[in-house]
Amino acid sequence: MGLRSQHAVSCAAHIASLALAAPDILRICQRHGGATPQLNGAIADCYSRLTAAGYFDATRRAPPPVDKGEQPLPATCAEFIPHFAETSAAGLQGVVSAAIDGVAMVTWRAAAVAESDEEAVRVASLTGPGSGAFMSAVPTERALTLPDAAFRHAVRLRLGLPPCDRMPQRCPAARRFLAMRGTSSPAPPPAAAPSPGATTALSTRLRRWRRRRGRG
């Protein structure tokens, strides 16, 4: 989508930096008799956030591809430093971030299907190949640029917002479309009943009008 929160995947960057430094961390720990509480706390915090994001559930169902030195995370915090002291952590941040994004996408699609058919279609359209290219493509000439209004509407669609903040209560175009199809337009909503004070004031004005007409 191109609109994800950096906070949601910051734990991937943190855990990857720790994994890259794991050989040096292990040597320091061996020299000083073990890991410090701060180090253990940092690893545990990353694992807790990854668990909350659904990373470990997702990787158990479909492990990330292990190629070009990319490695998924070990299952427990205790295995983390020894594992990456001997294993390359190259590409780890991308693997973890992709897994978190995958969980978020599955959750979002399921919520859209549960909400309505219209929302499910909107989400399917927005997650198709190339649907977000307009947000990252750099135009090479003026003719390839998007007007501000078109870009604004596209972003509002991606966010699930209406085309504008103040939508009209009635749509003249829809009425013309229904007339062309021979379908009667929907009846306008019933007017609210006038308050007793408004009814009294109207009756008073009518009586005055009748008196003036009678004098004429």
Give the domain ranges of the chain: 6-103
Span 130-150, mean pLDDT?
Answer: 86
Q: What is the pLDDT of residue 216?
A: 43
174-212 pLDDT tens trace:
776 666 666 555 555 555 555 555 556 656 666 776 677
Q: Which of 126, 136, 130 shows the shortest CA–CA distance to 161? A: 126
Q: What is the pLDDT of residue 201?
A: 62
Q: What is the pLDDT of residue 70?
A: 44
Q: Which long-range contacts (CB under 8 A, 24 or more apart) does 157-166 make?
A: 157/122, 157/126, 158/1, 158/3, 158/126, 158/132, 159/3, 160/119, 160/122
Q: What is the pLDDT of residue 173?
A: 73
Q: What is the pLDDT of residue 183?
A: 56
> Are 109 and 127 spatial neighbours (Cβ–Cβ below 8 Å)?
yes
Query: Rounded to an integer, what distance in angstroms lies between the CA atom of residue 165 and that of residue 24?
Result: 55
88-103 pLDDT tens trace:
888 888 888 888 888 8
pTM score over 0.85: no
> Are 74 and 80 spatial neighbours (Cβ–Cβ below 8 Å)?
yes
Q: What is the pLDDT of residue 199?
A: 54
